[in-house]
Amino acid sequence: MKFNIIARKYDLKENVREYAQKKLSKLDKFFRDEPSARLVFGTIKDNDYIEAQINAGGIIYRAECEDKEILAAIDRIVDVIERQIRKNKTRLAKRIKSSSVADNKLISGASYVDEEDTSEFEIVKRKRFTVKPMAVEEAILQMKLLGHGFFVFKNMETSEMNVVYERKDGKYALIESVD
């Protein structure tokens, strides 16, 4: 597993770094290709904080944990991500066509660009990502894995850009563009 480790207002000790890498490397067994992990360590009030994001095969697994002891937070974050992987592994197997997995037809990556804007409506973050075709069910699953309220994707059936979002009643909605 490739690691990108960031410490924000946190004194990251080498033993904590090694412990996190060792624990998260145990998740390698779930992936065909080598996944990449982004770990962010920090402090919120009196608690230590860790945020982990694992990109593997076009799917993003993300979790956040805070605890008084950083090692306990690392253990919990590994458990959360492992639970996400196991829970969604069977769903993905049912919903993703075998050709989609082989061709990596899921969202491939994202990049963040912080920009200054002096207009009336200030844009503080701009996110760009490669959009790959996927089914509506796959988009909903990806949205849930990310923990977001909406997800933009290219519909596999119509080749159009669509948005899925979770409604207040817990159901899902699809926004399709009309020319």
Domain ranges for the chain: 2-95, 98-176
As a whole number, the mean pLDDT across the chain is: 81
Tell me what pLDDT residue 95 has.
61
Instruction: Give how far Cα 138 sits from Cα of 34, 54, 130, 135, 144, Å.
Output: 22, 18, 16, 5, 10
Percentage of the chain beyond pLDDT 70 is 82
98-176 under CATH 3.30.505.50, yes or no: yes
Chain centroid to CA 72: 22
pLDDT band at 96 (very low <50, low <70, confident <90, very high): low
pLDDT of 107 above 60: no
pLDDT of 108 above 90: no
2-95 under CATH 3.30.160.100, yes or no: yes
Give tens-digit pLDDT for 47-82. 888 999 998 877 888 999 988 999 999 999 999 999
Query: Is 52:99 a contact under the CB 8 Å cutoff?
Result: no
pLDDT band at 97 (very low <50, low <70, confident <90, very high): very low
Hey, CA dihedral for 150, 156, 52, 74, is it positive or negative? positive
pLDDT band at 174 (very low <50, low <70, confident <90, very high): very high
Percentage of the chain beyond pLDDT 90 is 26
Lowest mean pLDDT of 56-70, 81-95, 115-129, 140-154, name the range: 115-129
Q: How much is the pTM?
A: 0.56
Query: Is 5:13 a contact under the CB 8 Å cutoff?
Result: no
pLDDT (mean) for 169-176: 90
